[in-house]
Chain A
Amino acid sequence: MRDNTYPDPRVSRLINQSTVPVQFNIVEDPGAMLRYHSFWTPTMMLQDADGVEYRRSYGALSPEAFLAEFSLGKALRYLHSGNFRKAIDLLEHARNYTAVHPERNAENHYWLAVGKYRATDDPAELEHGWQELRAKHPSSDWARKTDFSFAD
């Protein structure tokens, strides 16, 4: 991460633009693992200023995988807080990053449909978005989560 991912200008720009990055060396500060209930490094967490966590990732990420994880995390942050229009914008943009990661792209489709549904209260938005997900990623876990909605 330190050698390949964080120096990537796409990654560093995104981090600096929208977050305050804080880093703990677990050799110098072994208590950090306990404080964050972590068991493996690298651990990456997206939190708000009060420490509410919206996304966590274990293990090294390539620049492309980081961009996808980070963009999904930012969108989920706004889904959680009920700002569905902002979440939709971020999820639309996240597709640029998740396109090359099938499981993350499936998740992207899933939450985008949820965001549109919650923003409009129109069940057709959910059905349409989930149909797209099922067509594009039929064997994904995220498609399986929608099975109940399409059962006869």
Chain B
Amino acid sequence: MIETVTWRTSLEEARMEARETGKDLLVDLFNPG
């Protein structure tokens, strides 16, 4: 089974999750065009 990246879209929720899990944030800005 291929593992996919589960992107979050809320910075505040991502930061909260990062604090709870001791992880860092990977922030990606992209243009879909």
Binding site for B on A (CB under 8 A): 1-2, 6-7, 9, 11-13, 15-16, 18-27, 32-33, 36, 38, 41-51, 54, 70, 74, 77
Contact = CB atoms under 8 A, between A and B. Distances in A.
- How many chain B residues sit at the interface, stated as a range, is 20 to 34
Of B6, B7, B30, the most chain A CB neighbours within 10 A belong to B30
Interface in B3-31: 3-11, 14-15, 17-19, 21, 23-31
Given A9-B2, A21-B26, A74-B24, 16 more contacts: A6-B5, A7-B4, A16-B6, A19-B23, A20-B15, A20-B21, A20-B25, A21-B5, A21-B8, A21-B14, A23-B28, A23-B29, A27-B33, A32-B29, A38-B29, A41-B29
A71 B1 CA distance: 24
A30 to B, nearest CB: 10
A113 B21 CA distance: 30
Contact of B25 (A1, A26, A49): A49
A20 B23 CA distance: 6
A50 B28 CA distance: 16
